[in-house]
Structure 1
Amino acid sequence: MKKKIIIIGALVVVAGAVAFFLLRGGDGLQVNGAETSKGSIEEYVEETGTVMARNNIQVYSPASGKVTEVLVDVGDTVVEGDVLATLDGETLSLQLAQLDAQRSAAVAQLNEAKKAGNANAIRSLQLDIEQMEGTIQQEEEKFLDTRTLYEAGAISQDQLRASERSIENQMTNLAKMKLQLNQLNSPVSGNLIAQYEAQIRQIDLQKQEISSSGDDYTIVAGTTGTVLQKTVQEGSFLQPGMSLMELGDTDNLYIQSDILVSEISDIEVGLAVKLLNEDLGIEATGKVQKIHPNAFSKISDLGVEQKRITVEIQMDTIPDLLKPGYDLQVRIITESSGDTLIIPENAVFTMNHKDYVFVDAVGIAELREIQTGIQSGRVFEVLSGLVEGEVVIMSPDGELEEGSKIEVIVE
């Protein structure tokens, strides 16, 4: 009897072991898994940004001449009114003569524009109007006689109407002639007169500036800043409007980044920004300060034309290493969440417009519907459907299905 009991007990143990082996045995599908954990996640728009200097201005030559001296170099700090360069004064007298000729021409055009019209043409048209008015008066008197004859039955209705149409045509011609007279008596557009007057004032200012420069013409800084770029050297010959140098306030730097139009709707003034440059070891923060109103076309590195909008970013603290023209990696944070559940992106798949994952349920694959939130990089935020510490299957393939036996290798 005891032997039977022992045998039966052994069989139960063996059956249990077989069942456990079948459920968790070596024939389970090997999969990679990841344990869910809590952390912070950020969704962002990433682009390249360029360091710019505030109050950036180009210095142009207002006159022509040979550069006799350049008094500043790249990197020099100047204050408003400092002399940047001088031009040879030999050409100044020639420029003054040219400006005098331009002024005389502008004055002549102004005087011509102010004329009311040709006096002879006006008088001729006035005489034509007087003659037409007299003709119309005579025709109206004849029309009265014609109507009397029509009422007496001496003429037809067509003859009466022909007399009426003749008077109407003459009245129309009289109205046209009076309109022409008004046009001759009216001066040209006030805008054109204002244009000529502004041109004369501009010439006078140029003459005054050149005349006050003395023997040599000096070009001065219009603002305080640092010389960022210099495009002129001694001996160069300048024409009016040519660029000499670029000035900017290097103590007031900001970041300029061109964002794709398709991503600009997520960006607004005040959003936090992370700024990175691994080569320089720079990590900084800032905020979106300004979004430009107009879009423009820009060719990408792959040669594709894209519509972009410029965004300006003000840094919270300006790193010492940062210089105008440097490039930084810009991440504009559009949404963030802290102390939230996070899982790898490749654990999530979609069925019937819903998000799912496979969960390790003691060696069995369990299909679980989840609700996702922010996606950033290669991770998802999970709003519902999972708890911290559960293991999700990564990159599930077609062999894996609900109830499959699995062996999980947790990464």
Structure 2
Amino acid sequence: MQKFAARATWTAVALACAGAAAWALWPKPVPADFAAVARGALEVTVEDEGVTRIRDVYTVSAPVTGKLMRAPLRVGDEVVAGDTVVAIIEPTMPAFLDVRTQRVNEAAVEAASAAVALAEAQVRQARSQLDFAEADLRRARELAERQALPERALEKARLDAALAEASLASARATREVRRQELESARARLIQPTEIDSKAAACCIQARSPVSGRVLRVVVESEQVVQAGAPLMELGDPAALEIAVDLLSRDAVRVKEGAAARIESWGGEPALAARVRRIEPSGFTKVSALGIEEQRVKTILDLVDPPERWRRLGHGFRVVARIAVWQGEDVLLVPLGALFRKGDSWAVFAVSGGRARLRTIEIGERNLHAARVVSGLSAGEEVVLHPSDRIQDGTRVARRE
């Protein structure tokens, strides 16, 4: 009896040890994060940095060469079109003539004076010819009245008188041209010391062509500037737009009129915008990593009232998100559950406490979710970010 009891005890101990070993070595469920497949709204966007800019920037240039007075305005000052003086320029006095130029101009004056004298002589000659032709015409008329002169001779006298009158008018016009040439030649002889500074106009004032604010003062200190030199940039901050340099592969997905959000502009919430124009030509831009990228400039207009973005100015950095696809009530799967299986997309669907490999077909996707075309149903759970410990049929448990 004692032997039987001892054998039963050892048998119980052996079974207990075997059960403990089996329990210790039995595979435990792999902890994982789960997410549900559900229906909802999906928006696909392209994102890139942009810069705010005033739609029309006016550059005020120097109308003449001269000494520019110190800028009367500062950056940010308000200007009124046609009223605010933005620059004052004192025209430069003409340079002194050297000896050779002086003599050339004096010779030109003498030649112009001789030309005037010649023109005067031509006028006198034309006047004499006209007087003779008119007298001859009077005699011809008297003879024609007595029928002592043929009609052809009378017509010839009239023609000679008309030609003489035209010659006189031409000679007078030539004389006027020669007189003006003489005045021009004399003007080139004027030295700066002969100019009456009080009689000459002191300064030329350049006025603002637009109402708005001063964006940039190109030349601030008093200095001599050449005609056409840029002096100041002006613009209306209320006419603000956003320029975004999109990658060419993203630009082809964007349509004019597409909705957009402006983020990271320094305020909350995001601003509403709309795509106005996609430029038809691209350009090469080198990224911070030294990679050449083909970019396309895309212009956006702000939709929100100006009171919301009044603090934005010219040249501010923003982030633009432009919608390229939108869907309502579509089946969504978290992007973190997707992985590649050959040429297809796959997920681990949770069924009966085990992970089941499921090949699915997806459509549009963004940074958070993808639209399920086939392979999953609403309400199913999938494993997020599956590790290499999870295979088809692996027991899984929700991570606590």
TM-score (ref. length: structure 2): 0.62
Bigger CA radius of gyration: 2
Query: Cα–Cα, structure 1 residues 92 and 370, in superposed 2: closer, same or farther, change >3 Å?
Result: farther
Q: CA deviation at 1:276?
A: 0.7
SS of 2:235's equivalent in the other structure is strand
SS in structure 2 opposite 1:219?
strand
Deviations 1:225-268 (A, max 9, x none): 22111122241221223221111111111111111223211112
C-alpha change, 1:75 and 1:374, in structure 2 (3 Å) is same
Q: Is the Cα–Cα contact under 8 Å of residues 214 and 233 in structure 2 kept in the other structure? A: yes
Q: Number of aligned pairs?
A: 271
* Cα shift at 1:278: 5.9
C-alpha distance after superposition, 1:336-378 (max 9, x if no partner): 2223232222311222422221111121222222221221113
- Is the aligned partner of 1:72 residue 2:59? no
Residue in 1 aligned with 2:226? Answer: 239
Runs of 4+ in 1 over 4 A off after TM superposition: 92-95
Q: Is the 2:216–2:234 contact (alpha carbons within 8 Å) kept by the matching residues of 1?
A: yes
1:278/1:93 CA distance change after superposition, 3 Å: closer
Structure 1 contact 67–233 (Cα < 8 Å) conserved: no
Note the C-alpha offset of 1:28.
2.6
Report 1:79-228 matches (<5 A): 79-82=80-83, 83-89=85-91, 91=92, 93=94, 214-228=201-215
CA contact (8 A) 1:374 1:381 kept: yes
Determine which of 372, 376, 395 is the counterpart of 1:386. 376
More displaced stretch, 253-262 vs 229-238: 229-238
Normalising by structure 1, we get a TM-score of 0.60
Matches of 1:223 and 1:363 in 2, distance apart? 72
SS at match of 1:88: strand
The change in CA–CA distance for 1:298 and 1:214 in structure 2 (over 3 A counts) is farther
In structure 1, stretches of 5+ residues that fail to align are 1-17, 96-212
Is the counterpart of residue 268 in structure 1 residue 230 in structure 2? no
1:297 aligns with 2:292: no
RMSD of Structure 2 on Structure 1 (CA) = 2.6
CA 1:395–1:282 in structure 2 vs 1: closer, same or farther (change >3 Å)? Answer: closer
Structure 1 residues 273 and 94 mapped into 2: Cα distance closer, same or farther (>3 Å)? farther
Preserved contact between residue 355 and residue 392 of structure 2 (Cα < 8 Å): yes
Matches within 5 A, 1:307-346: 307-317=294-304, 318=306, 319-346=309-336
2:356 pairs with 1:366: yes
Q: Deviations over 1:39-63 (max 9, x none)?
A: 3222111111111112212222232
The change in CA–CA distance for 1:320 and 1:224 in structure 2 (over 3 A counts) is: closer
- Per residue, is there more helix in 1 or in 2? 1
Once residues 69 and 356 of structure 2 are traced to their aligned partners in structure 1, the CA distance between those partners, rounded to angstroms, is: 84
